[in-house]
Amino acid sequence: MELRPILSTLRRHRIPALLLVLEIALTCAIVCNAVFLISQRLQRTQMASGVAESELVQIQLAAIGKPADAKARAQEDLALLRQLPGVTAAALVSQVPFTNSSSNTGIKLDPAQKLPTLNATMYMGEGLIGTYGVRLVAGRDFQADEYLDFDAMKSDPNLQSKVGSVIVTQALGERLWPGQSPLGKNIYLGETSVRVIGVVQALIRPSLFMGDDAAQWTMIFPLRMSAASASRYVLRTASGQREAVLEGAAKALRKADPHRIILEKKTLDDIRREFFRNDRAMAGILVGVIIALLVVTALGIVGLASFWVAQRRRTIGVRRALGATRRNILNYFQTENFLLATIGIALGMVLAYGINLFLMTHYELPRLPPIYFPVGAVVLWLIGQAAVLGPALRAAAVPPVVATRSV
Amino acid sequence: MLGYYLDLALRSLKRNKALTALMVLAIALGIGASMTTLTVLHVLSGDPLPGKSGKLFYPQLDPQDMDGYKPQGEPPAQVGWIDGMALLHAKRARYQALMTGGAVPIQPAQSAIEPFFENARYTSADFFAMFDVPFLYGHGWNAADDEAGARVAVLTRELNDKLFGGKDSTGQTLRMDDVAFRIVGVLDSWRPTPHFYDLMTGSYSADEGVFVPLTTATDLKFAHNGSTDCWGKGFSDNMKTATCTWLQFWVQLDTPAEAAAYREYLLNYSREQQALGRFQRPPNVRLRDVMGWLDYNKVVPSDVRLQVWLAFGFLLVCLVNTVGLMLAKFLRRAAELGVRRALGASRRSLFAQLLVEAGAVGLVGGTGGLLLALAGLWLVRRQPSDYAALAHLDLPMLLATFAFAVVATLLAGLLPAWRACLIPPALQLKSN
């Protein structure tokens, strides 16, 4: 295919050609970044929690007034819940993943340190590891006699120093002591020191207010909660029985003590889905924008190409009369579009990179992976070719006899 | 003349329906997307109390110990009980209120309604006067009630509707957490957006349903919502002595001079506390007004800003598209324009005629954009975010949509119209 006639024609239609190039460039840049944003959002919704999500349900309740014996209340509730058919484990815990309610503290590696090394979440509750199904990768779980009552500790600060042990996540251990085993190491909370006795594979913070990089900075403490200090019962069951277990648990708990209100009863899957709903909504909006953009661009190409075909009807007729085949005419318009698209895509890549830099500084987004560039180029080439096909076929259908007619 | 141009424009637009529809569609989509996101941004970054927000200030102090001290770092976002009460009792401002969020179990007298949890605000007497809160029935409580820890409550209109069927409930008793409260007032509908006075419980979340004195709530150990930040041996059961910050303190200062004097007072208070040994850090205070406080806390979700950028990128593509199509359309009519020029029409009048045509496209596109924006906002309201329910088009935004569409299309029409006017008439006449 000879390019020279195409280039000379385009030179005569410089502004429309430029506009088409610009449109393709902008579309290319926005679509590349939007697809990248979608992939980031969807990836975020897949974030690992470290718990056996599909087997867990949560029931949260609050007492009216002050319970007479909150400690006994909790033990009685737990005994009831463990008896329910289908329940394999139950725990009263201070926090539940994806509930956005969290208790955090600054930790230090050296008591003399002025600033804390980092801020981590504190999980508490007897039997938490077994109930959550968190995987222990080193060290051991807490022993029954290691647990202290949270309420007692809250009213007597001196008891704080008696909490001797802690279990941390792999990610937190790696962050605090890179390349070393966290086992046996000490961390300081205020003036209290605790020793790491176990490491779990993962346990996500209930709230990601410190950013996704800090999502796994969690510690588990051997503290027993009471009905006064915690409100969330977590039950483990086979995934098919979750709804039934929730209903049964709510009924049993209300029957045991009617003077309280059930705030929430949900499967952990539902809690997770709600936690990431904004990310999914954003991904949905982005998909909508991408589709709209591609449609508008395609229609723009159709419109401009149709105009050019109509304008050049006579020229096409002359070319046909001079021996050009239908295929030649078709190829002419296809090549012309390919040429414009290529310039647009090249410009669009530079623009995409620029937008990505902007997003990186303002929205803490990572760098656009290079794979997006060739894929984006191919997609836009295909759309360009598809859009120009109709007008090009119409051009190819112009009969040579047009050349002999004036107007 | 305008009528003639309009007539010409309509004829020309009708002649090439597909191209016209394409232009209108592009404009409508671009305008619809931009106006949807702009409206959300406009609603979310609005002034919660227009006319008053410049007089309301949020004092911050730094009562922490030297652990983690950075010179002139941002002081804690809230105050503790001791400092909060000291500032409240000092009465150095026209109005001052100390508050925090919470949740209380409500035990309705009628057995038809099961007990339920309701979000509450524990605050002090000036809250209502300072924030211009409208009352439907009754009134707030007074400073004596605060001092006495009186068991009085103010309900919102919504809660009053739910519990008392909208009747005047002042004087009635409401049981909350096993304690009887006397209802002294019922608010009229009031939802400042953003929820500026307590950003810890969600910047746009629905507001609390019941208000009780902070002293009463603290004495009864009602559950507190929001953030509690402690230092030293702060972790304790008694929130009155704990070295924790967990309360918001707001003051009304009517003039800049009063604000400057209050700032000085905060510095003096900090120095005094430092001399007493209660404060360890050098005086470090902040006194931001409502909008300053909202800006500092970046309340508008970053996703909303991202959506605005995205929508404007989309609009740009749509406009480039329109410029291209309009150029094609105008240049195609070179012969007709040539005839008009040859018959004596000036370049200026041709230009005006073409711009009228562009404006007509803009007006129709704007109408389409408005419909799309309404549909878009309806979609936004169905989103799960807590600000979703607030996304409504108001009159200024509605007018802005049209203005925006017409101006954008006229701008898009400038280049094509100018190009088309440059065509020498003779050439066009000759070639035909």
Angle at A232 between CA A79 and CA B111, to 5 degrees: 90
- Least-confidence region, from A398-407, B107-116, B309-318: A398-407
Q: Whole-angstrom Cα distance, residue B378 to residue A25?
A: 31
Q: Whole-angstrom Cα distance, residue A183 to residue B208?
A: 46
Query: Using a CB-CB distance cutoff of 8 angstroms, which residues of chain B are in contact with residue A362?
Result: 302
Task: Select the residue from A102, A299, A356 to test the B interface by mutation, using most B Cβ atoms within 10 A.
Answer: A299
Q: Whole-angstrom Cα distance, residue A184 to residue A138?
A: 11
pLDDT score, position A113: 83
Distances (CA, A) of B252 to B92, B130, B143, B215: 10, 7, 16, 21
pLDDT of B237 above 80: no
Do strands B223-225 and A223-224 pair parallel, antiparallel, or not at all (unpaired)? unpaired
Mean pLDDT of A233-256: 93
Residue whose entry in the numeric block shows the structure tokens 């085993």 = A181
| 3-class secondary-structure state, position B155 | strand
Query: Using a CB-CB distance cutoff of 8 angstroms, which residues of chain B are in contact with residue A157?
Result: 233, 235-236
Q: What would you report as the CA-atom Rg of chain B, rounded to the nearest whole angstrom?
A: 31
Count the neighbouring beta carbons within 10 Å of the beta carbon of residue B287.
Answer: 20
Do strands B95-107 and B116-123 pair parallel, antiparallel, or not at all (unpaired)? antiparallel
Mean pLDDT of A2-6: 78
pLDDT of B430 above 70: no
Q: Are A303 and B332 a contacting pair at CB < 8 A?
A: no
Instruction: Count Cβ atoms within 10 A of the Cβ of residue A49 and give its class: 0-12 exposed, 13-18 middle, 19 or more buried.
Output: buried
- Smallest Cα distance from B95 to chain A, Å: 33
Interval B351-387: pLDDT, tens? 888 888 888 888 899 999 999 999 989 988 887 777 7
- Model confidence at A235, pLDDT cuts 50, 70, 90, reads very high
pLDDT of A199 above 70: yes
Query: Using a CB-CB distance cutoff of 8 angstroms, which residues of chain B are in contact with residue A310?
Result: 332
Q: Are B317 and A297 a contacting pair at CB < 8 A?
A: yes
| 3-class secondary-structure state, position B66 | coil
Is residue A60 within a helix (H) or strand (E), and if so which, with residue range?
strand A56-63
- Model confidence at B331, pLDDT cuts 50, 70, 90, reads confident
Q: What is the DSSP letter of B79?
A: B
- Model confidence at B17, pLDDT cuts 50, 70, 90, reads confident
pLDDT score, position A186: 93
The pair phi, psi for residue A194, each rounded to 5°, is: -130, 150
Chain B residue with CA closest to A66: the answer is B177
Query: Using a CB-CB distance cutoff of 8 angstroms, which residues of chain B are in contact with residue A23?
Result: 317, 320-321, 324
pLDDT of B112 above 90: no
Task: Select the residue from A38, A285, A347 to test the B interface by mutation, using most B Cβ atoms within 10 A.
Answer: A285
Provide CB contacts within 8 A for B278, sequence distance 6+.
B63, B82
Mean pLDDT of B37-61: 90
Query: Using a CB-CB distance cutoff of 8 angstroms, which residues of chain B are in contact with residue A311?
Result: 331-332
Count the neighbouring beta carbons within 10 Å of the beta carbon of residue B219.
Answer: 13
Of A65, A114, A285, the CB nearest to B307: A285
pLDDT score, position B252: 96
Do strands B223-225 and B95-107 pair parallel, antiparallel, or not at all (unpaired)? antiparallel
If you average pLDDT over every residue of chain A, what do you get? 90
Q: Per DSSP, what are the bridge partners of residue B274? A: none
pLDDT score, position A365: 82
pLDDT score, position A343: 94
Interval B267-295: pLDDT, tens? 999 999 999 988 889 999 999 999 999 99
pLDDT score, position B431: 54
Q: Whole-angstrom Cα distance, residue A95 to residue A109?
A: 25
Mean pLDDT of A304-331: 88
pLDDT score, position A281: 87
Mean pLDDT of B184-210: 86
Q: Whole-angstrom Cα distance, residue B213 to residue B124?
A: 5
pLDDT score, position B124: 95
Q: Whole-angstrom Cα distance, residue B206 to residue B200?
A: 13
Provide CB contacts within 8 A for A249, sequence distance 6+.
A57, A59, A81, A84, A87, A233, A235, A265
Of A64, A114, A286, the CB nearest to B115: A64
Q: Is the pLDDT higher at B423 or at A350?
A: A350
Mean pLDDT of B106-115: 85
Give the A:B interface size as CB pairs under 8 Å: 139
Structure tokens at A279: 């990310």
ipTM of the complex model: 0.83
Q: Whole-angstrom Cα distance, residue B284 to residue B302?
A: 29
Residue type, B371: L
Secondary structure of A102-131 in HEC code, one letter for each residue:
CCEEEEECCCCCCCCCEEEEEEECCCHHHH
Of A277, A300, A307, the CB nearest to B332: A307
pLDDT score, position A46: 92
| 3-class secondary-structure state, position B243 | coil
Q: Is the pLDDT higher at B307 or at B111?
A: B307
Q: In chain B, what are the domain boundaries?
A: 2-45+301-431, 53-296
- Model confidence at A6, pLDDT cuts 50, 70, 90, reads confident
Mean pLDDT of B163-172: 92
pLDDT score, position B129: 94
Provide CB contacts within 8 A for B376, sequence distance 6+.
B32, B33, B35, B36
- Smallest Cα distance from B26 to chain A, Å: 6
Please, what's the largest Cα pairwise distance for chain B?
98
What share of chain B has pLDDT > 90, as a percent? Answer: 41
Q: Whole-angstrom Cα distance, residue A54 to residue A320?
A: 68
Interval A59-101: pLDDT, tens? 999 888 877 788 999 999 999 999 999 999 999 999 999 998 8
Q: Whole-angstrom Cα distance, residue A6 to residue A328?
A: 12
Task: Select the residue from B317, B326, B327, B382 to test the A interface by mutation, using most A Cβ atoms within 10 A.
Answer: B317
Of A106, A277, A300, the CB nearest to B384: A277
Cross-sheet strand order for the sheet of A87-93: A87-93, A232-237, A56-63, A260-267
pLDDT score, position A42: 93
Q: Whole-angstrom Cα distance, residue A374 to residue A353?
A: 13
Distances (CA, A) of B335 to A283, A306, B329: 49, 19, 12
Count the neighbouring beta carbons within 10 Å of the beta carbon of residue A14.
Answer: 9
Q: What would you report as the CA-atom Rg of chain A, rounded to the nearest whole angstrom?
A: 33
Q: Whole-angstrom Cα distance, residue A206 to residue A100?
A: 5
In sequence order, what E strands does B22-142 have? Answer: 56-60, 95-107, 116-123, 135-138
Q: Whole-angstrom Cα distance, residue B3 to residue A395?
A: 38
Of B67, B317, B415, the CB nearest to A293: B317
What share of chain B has pLDDT > 70, as a percent? Answer: 97
Residue A325 φ/ψ region, left for φ over 0, alpha for ψ in the -120 to 50 degree band, beta for the rest? beta
Of B66, B68, B236, the CB nearest to A116: B68
Mean pLDDT of B105-134: 91
Structure tokens at B14: 């009708």
Sign of the Cα torsion A341, A343, A346, A350 reads negative
Structure tokens at B184: 């002294």
pLDDT score, position B234: 62
pLDDT score, position B429: 63
Q: Which own/partner contact pairs does A247-253 have at CB distance under 8 Å and 24+ positions apart? A: A248/A84, A248/A85, A248/A86, A249/A57, A249/A59, A249/A81, A249/A84, A249/A87, A250/A59, A252/A80, A252/A81, A252/A84, A253/A59, A253/A61, A253/A77, A253/A80, A253/A81
- Model confidence at B223, pLDDT cuts 50, 70, 90, reads confident
Of B22, B115, B332, the CB nearest to A261: B115
Mean pLDDT of A131-151: 93
Task: Select the residue from B17, B238, B320, B322 to test the A interface by mutation, using most A Cβ atoms within 10 A.
Answer: B320
Interval A332-372: pLDDT, tens? 999 999 999 999 999 999 999 999 999 888 877 888 898 88
Q: Whole-angstrom Cα distance, residue B268 to residue B258?
A: 15
